[in-house]
Amino acid sequence: MALTLVLAGCGEDGYEPAGPFRPLPQGPPPEVGPPTESSPAPAPGDPADPGSGTTGGDPNVVATGLTVPTGLVVLPDGSAVVGERETGRLLQVFPDRSPAQELMVLPGVDTAGDGGLLGLALSPTFDEDGLFYAYVSTATDNRVVRFPIGGTPNPVLTGLPRGEVHNGGGLAFAPDGTLFVGTGDTGNPALAQDPASLGGKVLHVDVFGQPVSGAGPVFSRGFSDVTAVCPSGDEAGTFYAVDESSAGPDELNELVEGSDHGWPAAGAGTITPLLEIGNAEGGLGGCAAAGTTVFLGALDGQRVTVVQVDGNGGVAEDPTELLGGRYGRLRTVVLDSEGGLWVTTSNRDGIGTPAEDDDKVLRILPPSSTGSSPL
């Protein structure tokens, strides 16, 4: 079912549109082929119509024609809302491949450098309040805002450092309803260790942006660019963060309160990463976890890397990959309640080589070690 558009009045604490904006794509909203009967997410495999030159028969593709989709959340009805980094558009996409529906455009999103609409999360009480949270760049800062569809974005957390690069964007709620926010060092590595800066950190706040801890909002420090954070869903409340670095290997980290992850001095942290991934295989932009299985979207690696953690600060086996080289640069990864993995491509980000129908949203059923869903 499509979202019902609910207009909200402008609040006094909203922020003013500040641009600059990339032009919206011309023409009608993305078309993803005729609706089909709902079915479980297809397992990854060859397109249904290989060699046809189109994606219309590819069971993995649920939407095409997007512009750098970066944040994605799955709604209670099984559909998803995806945000475009370059335009600030939010669109609803459907697992049965029904046509995508444009919902709104977030105002005030500044796309200079690698900024823009960088992350999305659903309110922990979404069924009651219908609120979305977004990590966005403005002309002067990075910030977290919240809004109903069609409503004015109101600030939750403002003043996060803004730069041409390394703007972060990790955003995810914990099971207890608190919010983890991953920031970047904005190209100034010293910020990651600066106790007076929120750059290069993972922050832990409540739904109003107030620190959960009396010591302040900083949960962990010593990061280059935290592009994604994700909960494991286990009873211990384990949280992971991916740190994308242009000067060294990318990292998958387990978050521990008060930990220092070392950037910019290699090996100087109080905790070692679970996994390091070389730049050619990395460019990590997404994280999703179910228990001890972690899925990582890799832009430069053009794959989803699958990691089995051992619960003792390491990995249980060599990582494997899904979709390697098939769809180009892969960014956001999100698991749904049926075990389906939603994945966004990022081939129109100025680095990739886009196909005519890029960018895409994919949905697959990743195999576990037993050949079934990991959930």
Q: Would residue 22 count as lying in a domain? A: no
332: closest CA among 293, 295, 292? 295
pTM for the predicted model, two decimal places: 0.87
Alpha carbon distance 48, 374 (integer Å): 24
Which pLDDT score, from 0 to 100, does residue 46 have? 39
Expressed as residue numbers, the domain containing 349 is 61-364
Q: Is residue 314 part of a domain?
A: yes
Specify the residue for token string 């919902």.
103
Domain for residue 225, yes or no? Answer: yes
Phi-psi region of 95 (alpha: psi -120 to 50; beta: other; left: phi over 0): alpha
Strand, helix or coil at 127? helix
354 Rama class: left (phi>0) / alpha (psi -120 to 50) / beta: beta
Residues of the chain with pLDDT under 70: 1-56, 368-375
pLDDT of residue 122: 98
In terms of Cα–Cα distance, which of 179, 123, 169, 208 is closest to 287? 169
The predicted structure's pLDDT at residue 179:
98
Cα–Cα–Cα angle for 348, 186, 83, rounded to 5 degrees = 35
Domain-located, residue 198 = yes
pLDDT for the residue 48: 34
In a domain, 148, yes or no: yes
What pLDDT sits at residue 367?
81
The edge-to-edge listing of strands for the beta sheet with 341-345 is: 61-63, 361-364, 341-345, 330-335
> Do residues 62 and 47 make contact, with C-beta atoms less than 8 angstroms apart?
no
Does some domain include residue 41?
A: no
Q: What is the reported pLDDT for 269?
A: 85
**Domain assignment present for 55:** no
Q: Looking at residue 261, which CATH number applies to its domain? A: 2.120.10.30
Q: Is residue 340 part of a domain?
A: yes
Q: List 136's β-bridge partners, or say none.
A: 117, 143
Question: Minimal CA–CA distance to 161: which of 132, 201, 121, 133?
Answer: 201
If one counts the domains in the chain, the total is 1
296 with 275: CB under 8 angstroms? no
- Amino acid sitting at position 16: E
